[in-house]
Amino acid sequence: MLKIGILGGGQLGRMLLQAAANYPVETYVLENEDDCPAAHLCHHFTKGDIKDHDAVLAFGKGLDAITIEIENVNIEALEELESQGVKIFPKPSVLKTIKNKILQKEYYRDNQVPTAEFVVSDSKQYVSSMEHFLPFVQKKATGGYDGKGVQVIKDAKELDNAWDGPAVLEKKVNIEKEIAQLVAINEKGETALYPPVQMVFDPYLNLLDHQIAPADLNEKVLWKVEAISLAVVRNFRSPGIFAIEMFIDKQGDVLVNETAPRVHNSGHHTIEAHYSSQFDMLWRIMLGYPLGNTDAILPSIMVNIIGAEGCSGKVQYDGLAEVLSIENAFVHLYGKKETRPGRKMGHVTVLSKDKQELLHQSNKIKRTLFARSGTPSIQL
Ligand SMILES: Nc1ncnc2c1ncn2[C@@H]1O[C@H](COP(=O)(O)OP(=O)(O)O)[C@@H](O)[C@H]1O
Ligand SMILES: [Mg+2]
């Protein structure tokens, strides 16, 4: 039986392990937090820091393959393991490019992948000199996620809010739609594309509000999305699963925003709504089996269950029974003991042929299901 390790023990690792149970594979997880969402679903749990060179090296010794659920891992250790014959999905070279938003944007430019116009900035002082480039979006080179590390600078007054340190300044795009395209690529270079999904963001929390699959795109746009996605993935020369976030602008142009070289929030719906889920697909790739069927069984909507405002501490769920009574609603709780405002605690996917019905049910879920703590940290 192959031995495969996952760096990180959050919800992505947890769902990956749920899919692993169907395959002949022995699973390993490295994570600092010993009651993390993935800890109880793997065969072997190692407590340790995925950013620490020695911890990752020791974890990987003797494994056949390693994958990641987050990019912020020790890449040097993965390179050493790769040179010793451990397969890494995705390759460390891809992680290096993606982990740093400057290198990632340069990768798109160097490979003729359409992306928003950008300049590289090294300081707040440099940003102040870019008045002629307004309005733009400043993105920290490293460490950002879920909208943290990204800020819009609309006008000259806001130049003062700029962060110091290495960053990308990207022209603000007039976004019509945000979509994500999941692509699977195996070791032979064969690819499979899932239908793109539309992501709708909460303007206040800067988090995904809901996501609809398949996205409503005309044929010409869909064709561009697929061609661009394949170009992004093929030039990485690495097997794995890739989630490519893209903007469709008001002119119908397609621009790559960013790529995640791993299973992704935008693919959660594939668990119930598609024949082969993103998690199933990654095991097929790592274990050398044929790629799965990416077709949708039915259209779907997915909403994240986010820790309620003003609540920190031991979690309790309100409205769970009511949501479980919705036809074709699939609830996933990630097993996190503690809730915090904005923390991803779970998600719900609803399947239906009828798009209006999907929107109706997702609104109902958002009004009904809450992750709260017993005692609010702020008196409301
Ligand atoms: N160039 C841009 N123009 C307009 N909006 C943008 C631009 N870049 C990012 N955004 C908005 O900010 C969000 C977060 O940016 P993103 O680069 O995806 O960072 P993160 O790594 O936090 O997901 C995007 O989903 C989009 O809504
Ligand atoms: Mg993003």
Give φ, ψ of 277 to 5 degrees. -80, 165
- Ligand 1: which of 101, 133, 137, 173 to mutate, most ligand atoms within 8 Å of CB? 137
pLDDT reported for residue 201: 85
**Above 80 in pLDDT, residue 377?**
no
Minimal-distance CA residue to ligand 1 atom 15: 147
| pLDDT of res. 202 | 76
Whether residue 123 is predicted with pLDDT greater than 50 in this model: the reply is: yes
Q: Percent of the chain scored above 90 by pLDDT?
A: 94
Handedness of CA 129, 134, 135, 141 (dihedral sign): negative
Q: For the chain, give the mean pLDDT.
A: 95
Give the pLDDT confidence score for residue 148 in this predicted structure: 86
Q: Which helix (H) or strand (E) holds 292?
A: none
Q: Convert the pLDDT of each residue in 34-74 to its tens digit.
A: 999 999 999 999 999 999 999 999 999 999 999 999 999 99
Ligand nearest 206 Cα, by number?
1
DSSP assigned state of 266: G
Q: Both tokens of residue 38?
A: 């993935």
Which pLDDT band holds residue 209 (cuts at 50, 70, 90)? Answer: confident
What does the pLDDT read at residue 380? 46
Collect all residues with Cβ–Cβ distance below 8 Å to 345 and sequence separation of at least 6.
305, 306, 307, 315, 333, 334, 336, 339, 371
pTM (two decimals): 0.95
| Cα 235 to averaged position of ligand 1 atoms, centre (Å) | 23
379: pLDDT confidence band, cut at 50, 70 and 90?
very low
Handedness of CA 176, 182, 185, 191 (dihedral sign): negative
Question: How much is the pLDDT for 199?
Answer: 96
Q: Which atom of ligand 1 is nearest to the CA of 146?
A: 22
Give the dihedral of Cα atoms 113, 116, 121, 126; nearest 10 deg: 150
CB 262 within 8 A of CB 12: yes
pLDDT exceeds 70 at position 33: yes
Ligand 1 pocket by Cβ (under 6 Å): 116, 137, 139, 144-147, 149-150, 170, 172-173, 175, 178, 201, 245, 257-258
Cβ burial, residue 52 (10 Å; 0-12/13-18/19+) = middle
Instruction: Convert the pLDDT of each residue in 215-230 to its tens digit.
Output: 999 999 999 999 999 9
Say how many Å lie between the CA of residue 257 and the centre of ligand 1.
Answer: 7
How far, in Å, is the centroid of ligand 2 from the Cα of 178? 10
d(CA 302, CA 208): 10
* Residue 207 in this model has a pLDDT that exceeds 80: no
Among the atoms of ligand 1, which is closest to the Cα of residue 172? Answer: 3
